[in-house]
Amino acid sequence: MNERSDTRPAEIVDTDPAGPAAAHWRDVYRTRPADQVSWFQTEPQPSLELVRAVFPEGPGGRAAIDVGGGASPLAAHLVRDGFGHVTVLDVSEQALRTARAAVQGEPGADAIRWLHADLLAWRPDRTFDLWHDRAVFHFLTDASDRAAYLDTLREALAPGGAVVLGTFGPEGPTHCSGLPVARHSPDELAAELGDAFTPVETRIQVHRTPAGASQSFAWLAARRR
């Protein structure tokens, strides 16, 4: 997406999520610039490296979903790499507006769907070949919420599809944005996904926040059998 065009990004699809999660993240993005939140990345690494690890032949026009994608620039990179459709789902409309504005005029912007929704209440209306999540799963400290998340993942992911999942690692923070988190090792993430998934690559990454703090992330890239 280096050349400018007149392509306009799609409008945000609003399912009007309610509840404490929606209110919390709405306030986070209203009170802090998107490039000052702790999870901000100028370039979405290692997400792209792990996506390329599960699609070494290239995405070939496949469909992807970035859950909790917020203001991340990942969607634009995925389109540029060859994904034919990318859905970005987030509970914060402000975060989606920031990301959508960033791709205004970029080739392929109309291949990105912006979905304002609560992931745990959302039901997929199509299947995807890639499920990407950086830093949503670790907010699910309740086992029933993790089970609901995994049910949605299995419903949304096509047979043979891939998952790239990143959470705080065992040495990572215990809280983020005022909320408790559940830390995971790559092996624990693989166990959560279960035997229907084959790990392709795992890693521990140290993320440097805009404020200069170091955060340990655990990553898993896996293929659905």
Indicate the fold that domain 12-224 takes in CATH.
Rossmann fold (3.40.50)
* pLDDT (0 to 100) of residue 210: 87
- Among 40-44, 117-121, 143-147, the range scoring the smallest mean pLDDT is 40-44
How confident is the prediction for the chain on average, in pLDDT? 92
Cβ atoms of 124 and 152 within 8 Å: the answer is yes
More confident residue, 41 or 29: 41
Provide the pLDDT confidence category of residue 7 given band limits of 50, 70 and 90: low
Tell me how far apart the 2 most distant CA atoms of the chain are, in Å.
46
More confident residue, 39 or 162: 162
Summarize pLDDT for 175-216 with one digit per residue, the tens.
Answer: 999 999 999 999 999 999 999 999 999 999 999 998 899 999
Domain ranges, ordered by start, for the chain: 12-224
- The residue with tokens 């960033």 is 102
The model carries a pTM of: 0.92
